Amino acid sequence: MAFELPKLKYAYDALEPNIDARTMEIHHTKHHQGYTNKLNAAIEGTDLEGKTIENILINLDTDNKAVRNNGGGFYNHSLFWDVMNPEGKSRLSGDLKDAIEAEFGSFDAFKDAFSSAAATRFGSGWAWLCVHEGGKVEVCSTANQDNPLMPGIGCEGTPILGLDVWEHAYYLNYQNRRPDYIEAFFNVINWNEVERRYAEAK
């Protein structure tokens, strides 16, 4: 069964003014759709066909550039849409809050670490909050469409929060002001969803 572009749970303009509707529409219908189509083409007729995207990435042959780039692009964006909340009402709480404070000392220190990972990623890539066995959390970043599920990336664990810092994610509204985009992202994080993913992964 081929992968399908996931439908957003909110309208393209729901995250404004933090992320504009035009960027969301292009990002979802052009970029994410493109990764979806190319992933399906890359696995068609292979033993990867019919497997979950998580299974494909965990067992990835990183020399397979088509699956690495497009499988990563498909998974990363699927997570990205889900960890944003147009309601803006959820707050970090529960076990995830405890884990973040245990690792970083405070939410503000975590925010600084995550923002730094996103801002200093040279070129295109992603910033991540990951979970390790036992519930320990880590902030890291990856290049291009790589993610922590992939073997040997140097950023390991189960990703529960991801920020796309490719220019296509923010350039229409923020131009070269990546730090402003990163700050805006914190206004729309769906902490309820991130906490759910944490509970599932730890």
Whether the per-residue pLDDT at 21 is higher than 70: the answer is: yes
With CA atoms as reference, report the closest residue to 35 among 15, 59, 57, 13.
57
Q: HSE of 83 in the Cβ direction (CA atoms, 13 Å)?
A: 22
Q: What is the CATH number of domain 20-202?
A: 3.55.40.20
Tell me if 77 is assigned to a ligand binding site.
yes
Instruction: Compute the average pLDDT of residues 87-95.
Output: 79
- Please, what's the b/e burial string for 61-91 (b: 16 or more CB within 10 A of its CB; e: otherwise)? eeeeeebbbbbbbbbbbbbbbbbbbbeeeee
Compute the distance between CA of residue 42 and CA of residue 156 in angstroms, rounded to an integer.
Answer: 24
Q: How many CB atoms lie within 10 A of CB 122?
A: 7
The pLDDT of residue 86 is 78
Domain boundaries, the chain: 20-202
Q: How confident is the model over 165-192, as pLDDT tens digits?
A: 999 999 999 999 999 999 999 999 999 9
Residue 75 three-state SS: helix
Q: Which one-letter DSSP state was computed for residue 84?
A: B
pTM as predicted: 0.95
